[in-house]
Each structure stands twice: as C-alpha cells, then as structure tokens.
Amino acid sequence: MVSKPAAIPRAKAVVEGVPSLRDDKIDYPGASAQPASPPLSKVATAESSSLDFSEFAFSESSPDFQIEADIDPVDAEAEEVAILFANGQDEVVRSVLENAVRIHHFGPGERLWMMLFDLYGLTGQKASFEVLEIDYARSFEKSPPGWRDKSKGEPKAKEVLAGSLLFKGDLTGDNDAAFDAIRQSLEKNPKLRLDLSKVTRLDAGGCGRLLALLQQARKARREIELLGRDTLGALVEERVESGRAEDSECWLLLLELCQLQGQYEGFEDVAINYAVTFEVSPPSWEANRVAAPEPVLLTANGEGGDDVAADAYVLRGDVKSSRFADLPAYADVHDSVLIDCGALTRMDFISAGALLNSLTIIRRTGKQIVFHHPNHLVAELFGIIGLKAVATIVFAKH
C-alpha cells in the first residue's frame, strides 16, 4: 500500500499541464514520469489567481528542518584539538593533528601544523618534530620553527615574579597612606616592585622614610626593587646642594640610588660632597648591592624585542581551576597588562573563563592587554572563549 502525501490541497486550483493530486493515475512512490511543469505565465486558477493556503490540510507529523551554517574544516579541527588538549587528552590530540596535516597542507591549514609542532615540543618528541620540519618546508616553502624541548621539569602552576605597588601621591613625610601600603605589601611579598615614576614632588621627610623602608627590608631579607629611578633621582638632585647642610635624607637617598644603579663614579662624587657639607663620613660603596637594570616593558602592540619584560605577569605549567585573584592588583599599577605565556603548557576551561572575566573588566578601563608567546594549542583555546576580543596575542618568532 502506498502512503498519502503529507499535504492534500482542497483548492479548486488547476495548473495547466500538471495532473491533479487526486488523479487516480498517479502512483506514490515510483509514479511514471510526468510532464514538465509549464512556465508560470501559463498557470491559471478556476476562481482566483493564487492559492488559498487556509484550505490546505498539513500532517501533524511533518518533519523538523534545521539549517546548519557552513563550518570551515580548519576552524573545526583547530577547535576540536584545543578542547581535547585543554582536557589533557594528548594522545588523541596527536592523532587528530597528524591526520589533519596530511590533509591541510596549504595556507589556512598552517595553524594546525603549528599546533602539532608545539605538541611535539611540549611532549619532547624531537624525532617526530624533525620529520614534520621537512614536510612543512616542502608544503609551505619556508623555514619551520626551531626545536625547543619544553617537556622537562614541572614548574609551578602560576607565578608572579614579584608583588607590584604604585606609590600614590607625593614622596613626602606626611604621606602616611602610601608608606603604610608599602609595609602591608612587604608583609605579603618577599619581593616588591615599588613604582615611583608618578612622583612629582618630594621632601626630606619622604626621602628619609623611603630610605628607612629600604634598609628595614634588607635586614628582614626582603627586597624592594625601585622603578622610576631616573625620575626619582632627578627630583632628589634638585634638593641637594653642596655646602648647604640641609636635607641630609635627600643626600643619603641620592647615594642609595647611585648604589642601586651601579653608578660608581656618581656615588663617589656625591659621597665626597656629602662628607664636606656635613663633616661626617658617607656610606661606603657595596658592589654586591648593585640592582638589576629596570625592565624595559613591551609596548601594547608587542614590540620591544623577543625577550619578555621582567615586570610581566607570568603564567607557568598546567594552569587548573585558577581565579587569577592577583591579576587586578597587577593591572592597577601598569599602563599595559603584559602576560608572559612562554612557560605556560596548558590551561583548562575553568581557568580560561576566569581569565576572560578578569581581563574584560580590566579592558574596560582602557588598558591594553598583550599575551606574549603562548603556544598555539593554548592560543586556539583563547580564540574559542573570545579572549582575542580584549587582548592582543604575540607569538614567538621562529
């Protein structure tokens, strides 16, 4: 028995050259070939020029239709791999990628090759890496990435190299809030970066309090790294005058700055003038107390060399279930938020979502956000969650 069509028109419409749906000569399915439909100009109706759809009876079991947008195969495979890798399924990731590079050996597929290069590096598979290098050079006619074994060691999940604090207000003796903030930060961080680049005014009392904090930190085996040393030094020099025995605290802070910056000749000149002016012995030069140069931060577009700034917010190893509670404090004292991913192996979805939420809030303040040297597996995860909408990603050079 042949089933009836889902919709049976009751209209009196007649289409010339097309048999009625009630024509007994039509069998379903497998009816004999019917005449081709005529042009629309030959369509006529018995009572009106158009069909009245209110007279159609539709089956209640009509199928649902879904329209799916076309998905780029490279995008689909990159997303699949990123999700699998975030879940720690490295063997499946390798299988999918090795199959993908056999298929996508053209321009857009290069990102899949980069993901496989990074996977080999993260898992220490040098032989497979070298084979892939040859195939890559043939397919893309350019040099492949160099081998870097990132499989050794188990670094900490996440680390910030030092606490950071912006000195707010003037460096004056009555700025209790700023000096209290320094003491509180030192209690939480054995190493503190104190940014004094925004200071525009100082006095002897402020210089004395800062110098005392530096000395106390050394005795407690803690470290205060001063940023904005040149700016601070210029302000201190304005308060120092040879032969005028005033503001001794400014003289001593100037000697400390020369010491930290390794300016031996400048230190000796200031020390002699200090001894003559105050008729007391100056501090002695200590070669082992010369501080490292101030970090040169990357610009917001990632320029500034291939080395990551020492003042960047650092992510390491496998980051799992992290909330990045210290990231807002880091962002508060930096014009650009620079996130070093060079030692980051992977990140799970919970952490990636928390990172996006935190950076979205930071981005609303107008600050630029730069991710420096993430591997391509992690970068694809960032793309999936929409992190690229708030940040710039700078990959390592081949």
Residue 396 is predicted with a pLDDT of 84
Torsion of CA 94, 348, 311, 145, to 10 degrees: 10
Query: What percent of the chain shows pLDDT beyond 90?
Result: 54
Q: How many CA atoms lie within 13 A of 103 on its CB side?
A: 9
Top pLDDT among 106 and 235 is at: 235
pLDDT tens, position by position, 340-362: 999 999 999 999 999 999 999 99
When the pLDDT of each residue in the chain is averaged and rounded to a whole number, the result is: 80
Q: Give the separation between CA 179 and CA 184, rounded to whole angstroms.
A: 9
pLDDT classification of 76: cutoffs 50, 70, 90: very high
pLDDT classification of 47: cutoffs 50, 70, 90: very low
Residue 295 is predicted with a pLDDT of 59
Residue 70 is predicted with a pLDDT of 66
Fold agreement between 175-289 and 313-394: yes
Lowest-confidence range among 105-119, 153-167, 339-353? 153-167
pLDDT tens, position by position, 265-312: 999 999 999 999 999 999 999 988 888 777 554 444 444 444 444 568
Q: Give the separation between CA 395 and CA 398, rounded to whole angstroms.
A: 9
Query: Cα–Cα distances in Å, from 304 out to 258, 300, 330?
Result: 26, 10, 20
Lowest-confidence range among 155-159, 197-201, 237-241, 359-363? 155-159
Contact 151, 123 (CB under 8 A): yes
**CATH superfamily of this structure's domain 313-394:** STAS domain (3.30.750.24)
Residue 398 is predicted with a pLDDT of 65
pLDDT classification of 33: cutoffs 50, 70, 90: very low
Residue 163 is predicted with a pLDDT of 66
Q: Could you tell me where the DSSP H helices lie in the chain?
A: 73-86, 90-103, 110-122, 126-140, 176-188, 204-219, 229-237, 248-260, 264-278, 327-332, 349-363, 376-385
Residue 263 above 70 pLDDT?
A: yes
**What dotted CATH number matches 175-289?**
3.30.750
Average pLDDT over residues 299-327: 71
Which residue do the tokens 């700078």 mark? 394
Residue 166 is predicted with a pLDDT of 84
Residue 169 is predicted with a pLDDT of 93
Contact 112, 101 (CB under 8 A): yes
Average pLDDT over residues 248-261: 95
pLDDT classification of 162: cutoffs 50, 70, 90: low
Top pLDDT among 365 and 55 is at: 365
What's the pTM?
0.53
Residue 6 above 60 pLDDT?
A: no
pLDDT tens, position by position, 138-152: 999 889 999 988 887
Residue 192 is predicted with a pLDDT of 84
Residue 161 is predicted with a pLDDT of 46
Residue 214 above 70 pLDDT?
A: yes
Q: Where are the domains of the chain?
A: 1-67, 73-140, 175-289, 313-394
Residue 221 is predicted with a pLDDT of 87
Lowest-confidence range among 69-73, 252-256, 358-362? 69-73
Query: Cα–Cα distances in Å, from 349 out to 122, 239, 344, 373?
Result: 19, 54, 15, 19
